Structure 1
Amino acid sequence: MAEQLYWHDIEDLQGQWVGLGGTVERPASARPPLHLLTGHNGRIKLMLHDTPLFWATVAQGYCGAWLVRNPVPAQLEFLPIPPIDSAQVERHAPLEPQQRIKAWSRFFVSQLSERSADFLYPGRWLAQGMLPNPANARAVAQRGLAAWSFSSGTGSHSHLPNWSLYGEDILDNLTPETVQWIDWWQGGGKLVGLHPVDPLAGRLKWWRKKAREGSLPPILLWHVGGLASYVIVDGHYRLQAALDENIPPTFIVLSATRIQAINPCPENQQRVLDSLMMQSARNPNFDVDTLNRALINTFDNRPYYNASTHSWAGIESDQAWVAEVTRHLHEHDATEHLQAIIERRD
């Protein structure tokens, strides 16, 4: 079967754009270059071809996960999106924030569709914006990264995942720490870069200028469900530019999804309708907005989009995973938490 990709806009009940939904139809083939491997005892590896970008393991109490990063050279950078040029930046710059995130989502999805074998595997996908939350400019100026926060803002009007991120959970890509504890009870997951950033790179200076101008394109992220975290697919230098200028950026989150159909009970719908009509008849001042919300909630049969992440059972054994991680941590003189990682303790 030839490869087929279908993308469509998704709106909430108020007619506002909230994301792009897509279906990738092609025969199951070899793993894409960037893929997750899983194995026995809660072990995970993110691979770029044959190179591990990080190892991870879920704690036995499911309160978090250990992340072991492999700061691979920049030449191993994964490029599912061709470099963004000045013309593309200027084309999107005049748009309002919501329209801009929609336009950039279309751009990224179009690029991924043309090069889908490099990243997208068969199934359903979502692309959603994640924007800075309204913040006190003084707090951002004084506290910097600690004052940053982001959300997808889908709320109750949409059946899509609701993403969020705090500045303190953005991991350093200038001098990446080898070992990181991801605490799911305190703030959620992390934002993980896949290669180091060169602070003297010319493109970093150019992106810093675009950040100051307010035209910085979004950073493209992939949600990895097993870690409840995001990895950067495109935009390591754009993120660093935003950090250097202390200007919160925007993100587009890609997630593989499963659709859960909603089948309301007709008898229950009728009971709710009868009750609302009775209350409305008895009380001429019955709030119309309350009535409408109750009716929408009762008759809303839109499916739910549940995020999921596909992985391949490709880790040879628990012993092999432990041996790799042990060797890597000894090479980087970072064995302080080695035993906790091996034993999956927080």
Structure 2
Amino acid sequence: MQQFWWRDLRDLEDKWVGLSIEVNRPKSSKPLLHLQSGNNGRMKFMLNGSPLFWATIATSYYGAWLVRNPRPVQLESSPVPPIDSADVQEHFELPVEERFPRWCRYFINQLMNNQADFLYPGHWVARPLLPAVSRYKPVAGPDGWYFSTPAEASSHLPNWYARGEGILDNVQPHTVHWLDWGLGHLIGLHTVDPFAGRLKWWRKKAREGSLPPILLWYVGGLCSYVVIDGHYRLQAALDEGVKPDFIVLSSTKAQQIKPCEATQQRVFSSLMLQNARNSKFNVHTFNQALINTFDDRPWHWAGTHAWAGIPSDQAWCAEVTSFLTEQGNTEHLQDIIERCEY
């Protein structure tokens, strides 16, 4: 039996920054959707015993190779049931500041009710990933899109980013990809039918501005995100040229910090001296400096648990070689096997 608890997360200025989820399920229970790892930087992303993709980290640690397994238009079972028009309208009518907290709760409740077949035991965080001003040279179209977590007042939670050129094609997916860790790639788990009626409906919602956020799972070993729910919503946004919103789910570990007492005392003494000398010393600056100096809350870093399911490096290489040979796509096979940078 598995249980879930969740609570809202707020920063130092009481601004909502995400949702905290505690997952309690038997540790021996392997989720249907899970990551497997082996030696020599090898990985497999599995669903019901079948690989959705293989991956391997380059020896330079600047990126990874991804080999996608073609899937049917839909997975056999989705962690999140289809969102209906009533849910879309209900959330669209909310005040803007309430939409993301409510969508986060919606997705977590759906995962809970459907046995959440990819959440393993431990602490998870759901955070928004929103359109932002690009830090890079402007590029026309979706390739120039940029997304990041909103600015906040020190919540000690993971921050996310993604670039439009890192969104992989799910209509005519390529089998082999080089994942540049600077892009924050979005990896779809199944293909999208460009003529599906549901895609036309989501394109309408994108034009109306009521498109629900897309649910992602951060995979630490690839510095990328897997699309858990919203393949058609993502495609609708791309087709309409409308930047979508995302919710990133990540498992986290708390890292305790112990501030240096001597440093704290020096900062405190310096602030008191400045305050005494300057009657107009900004109170907010004073308080913020004290908070930052004496803040001993743990930092939460994101990681992805993987099961040791790959027998050997030789077995992984043989499996990928056989698959790419069958696909007639062996151009980058040697680089993949040898973990060479693209």
Same fold (TM > 0.5):
yes
Q: Which amino acid aligns with 1:331?
A: E
Q: Confirm or deny that 1:271 pairs with 2:266.
A: yes
User: Which residue is equivalent to 1:330?
Assistant: 325
Map 1:81-100 → 2, pairs under 5 A: 81-100=80-99
CA 213–340 in structure 1, closer or farther in 2 if over 3 Å, else same: same
Pairwise CA distance, 1:340: 0.4
CA contact (8 A) 1:54 1:70 kept: yes
Pairwise CA distance, 1:74: 2.4
- The 2-side partners of 1:257 and 1:114 are apart by 22
User: Which residue is equivalent to 1:202?
Assistant: 197
CA 307–82 in structure 1, closer or farther in 2 if over 3 Å, else same: same
Map 1:212-291 → 2, pairs under 5 A: 212-291=207-286
CA 134–40 in structure 1, closer or farther in 2 if over 3 Å, else same: closer
- The 2-side partners of 1:239 and 1:341 are apart by 29
CA contact (8 A) 2:161 2:184 kept: no
Gaps of at least 5 residues in structure 2 are none
Pairwise CA distance, 1:134: 4.5
Q: Determine which of 129, 133, 148 is the counterpart of 2:145.
A: 148
Pairwise CA distance, 1:115: 2.7
- Encode CA deviations 1:139-159: one digit per residue, 9 max, x unaligned: 78xx11022111112455221
- The 2-side partners of 1:225 and 1:289 are apart by 37
- The 1-side partners of 2:155 and 2:188 are apart by 29
- The 1-side partners of 2:69 and 2:246 are apart by 24
Shift >3 Å, 4+ stretches: 265-268
Pairwise CA distance, 1:107: 0.3
- The 1-side partners of 2:77 and 2:250 are apart by 18
- The 1-side partners of 2:22 and 2:178 are apart by 34
Q: Which amino acid aligns with 2:226?
A: V
Q: Determine which of 295, 314, 317 is the counterpart of 2:312.
A: 317
CA 97–181 in structure 1, closer or farther in 2 if over 3 Å, else same: farther
CA contact (8 A) 1:262 1:302 kept: yes
Q: Which amino acid aligns with 2:339?
A: R
CA contact (8 A) 1:48 1:78 kept: no
CA contact (8 A) 1:222 1:230 kept: yes
Pairwise CA distance, 1:120: 1.1
What's the % identity of the aligned pairs?
61
- Encode CA deviations 1:164-220: one digit per residue, 9 max, x unaligned: 011110000000011111122xx3331000010000111000000111111100000
Pairwise CA distance, 1:22: 1.2
Pairwise CA distance, 1:78: 4.2
Q: Confirm or deny that 1:9 pairs with 2:8.
A: yes
User: Structure 1 residues 261-270 or 196-205, which shifts more?
Assistant: 261-270
Pairwise CA distance, 1:257: 0.5
- The 2-side partners of 1:256 and 1:115 are apart by 19
User: Which residue is equivalent to 1:66?
Assistant: 65
- Encode CA deviations 1:212-254: one digit per residue, 9 max, x unaligned: 1111000000000000000000000000000000000000000
**Bigger helix share:** 1
TM-score, with length taken from structure 1: 0.93
The SS at the match of 2:310 is coil
Pairwise CA distance, 1:48: 0.6
Q: Confirm or deny that 1:181 pairs with 2:178.
A: yes
Pairwise CA distance, 1:77: 4.6
CA contact (8 A) 1:19 1:129 kept: yes
Gaps of at least 5 residues in structure 1 are none
TM-score, with length taken from structure 2: 0.94
Q: Which amino acid aligns with 2:324?
A: L
User: Structure 1 residues 295-304 or 36-45, which shifts more?
Assistant: 295-304
CA 183–234 in structure 1, closer or farther in 2 if over 3 Å, else same: same
Pairwise CA distance, 1:72: 1.3
- The 1-side partners of 2:121 and 2:151 are apart by 25
- The 2-side partners of 1:325 and 1:84 are apart by 36
CA contact (8 A) 1:78 1:233 kept: no
Pairwise CA distance, 1:76: 2.8
- The 1-side partners of 2:8 and 2:257 are apart by 20
CA contact (8 A) 2:219 2:304 kept: yes
